[in-house]
Amino acid sequence: MVQPLTHTSRNDPSSIISDNHRRAVLRTLLYYDLFGFPLQIDELRRYSDIHWPDPSDLDAAIDSLVERGLVEREEAWLHLGRHVLIEERMEAQARGERVMPRAIRRSRLIARFPFVRAVALSGTLSKGVFARGDDVDFFVITSPGRLWICRVLLMSFKKIFLFNSRRTFCINYLVTEDHLEVPDHNFFTATEIAWLAPIVNAELFEAFIKANDWIKEFLPNWVPTTNRSTTGWRHSLPARAIETLLSGGRGDSLDERCRKLVERHNRHRYDHLEPTEFELAMRTAKNVSKHHPRSFQARILQRFDDRIREFENRHNVSINPL
């Protein structure tokens, strides 16, 4: 096991990783490097896993790592030696700007469906980028006890009118407004929540963030920001009529049938997943729907651990928290 040194020998990189400031900078850059996503300095502070009360501490940590050749800085950009990623991110940002208006329109369309109460962009577009092959992902909050009716209606719309295209209509996470807390408490989920871009019903998303204040354990510097594209939620007349029709016991029964239908379909289609992996990736609880058949969360967290170990071995440093 590498032991950090207390002196600052230029020929020994481990000597400059002797405190949590430098370790945190490297951990954050390593995590986003998994996605080919170089960070700007303000982003690194905002999404770091330790608190930075004094900006000069962050500057000093970055300067030290740059001096030793472990981090590269180009103006406001920071990366781990892959300069090409800056150009790729800028290109993806330009593509994201072109896709965003359509994604906002789709968000507002989703909000007009029965039982939908709030909509946010998630995935890559919520981070302001859109690479070739990416999907437009949505996070949806529904009314209590009607999540599965809502999900079936949205999926039916996608299959019938959008020819089952995921590219511009991928709804992979839904929660109900009476159970807003996301059950998976880890760095990956905290980061995805922090990057969400609310489009419809900012007030409900404020309640959602309060219900998930556990993310501060992983991202102590993060604070919500206002999205200028956010609009208020209002009932559409057709949605109101359907909701009235499906109120009471009739709707309760139908919602449970929809939940069981989706669960049976998923268990048949993704029977290669182990039971614990299925529960994590394809959650079908009454108040939450999660559809991540490629177990993205588990794979990213494992790759992050592997990347840390590989970096430590290659540079003879220790960068996990003390």
What domains are there in the chain, each with its CATH number? 13-82+301-315 (1.10.10), 99-291 (no CATH)
pLDDT band at 8 (very low <50, low <70, confident <90, very high): very low
pLDDT band at 2 (very low <50, low <70, confident <90, very high): very low
pLDDT band at 225 (very low <50, low <70, confident <90, very high): confident
pLDDT tens figures, 249-271: 999 999 999 999 999 999 888 88
Q: What is the pLDDT of residue 223?
A: 92
Please report which residue ranges of the chain form alpha helices under DSSP H. Answer: 20-33, 41-46, 55-67, 84-110, 147-161, 187-195, 202-211, 237-245, 248-269, 275-281, 296-315
Beta strands 116-122; 137-142: pairing state = antiparallel
Contact 136, 171 (CB under 8 A): no
Mean pLDDT of 93-106: 95
Is the pLDDT reported for residue 297 higher than 50?
yes
pLDDT tens figures, 165-204: 766 789 989 999 999 999 999 999 999 999 999 999 999 9
Is the pLDDT reported for residue 64 higher than 80?
yes
Residues, the chain, total? 322
pLDDT tens figures, 69-85: 999 999 999 999 999 99
3-class DSSP state of 200? strand
- 155: tokens are 């999926």
Angle between helices 296-315 and 20-33 (to 10 degrees): 130
Determine the distance from the C-alpha atom of residue 109 to the mean position of all C-alpha atoms in its chain, rounded to a whole number.
22
User: pTM (2 decimals)?
Assistant: 0.90
pLDDT band at 17 (very low <50, low <70, confident <90, very high): low
pLDDT band at 243 (very low <50, low <70, confident <90, very high): very high
Is the pLDDT reported for residue 139 higher than 50?
yes
Mean pLDDT of 298-313: 95
Contact 174, 288 (CB under 8 A): yes
**High-pLDDT (> 70) share of the chain, %:** 92
Contact 291, 284 (CB under 8 A): no
For residue 170, give the H/E element and its range: strand 170-176
Mean pLDDT of 61-67: 95
Q: Phi, psi at residue 52, to the nearest 5°?
A: -120, 80
Q: What is the pLDDT of residue 112?
A: 95
- Could you tell me which residues are beta bridge partners of residue 200? 119, 231
Contact 194, 215 (CB under 8 A): yes
How many CB atoms are closer than 10 A to CB 106? 18
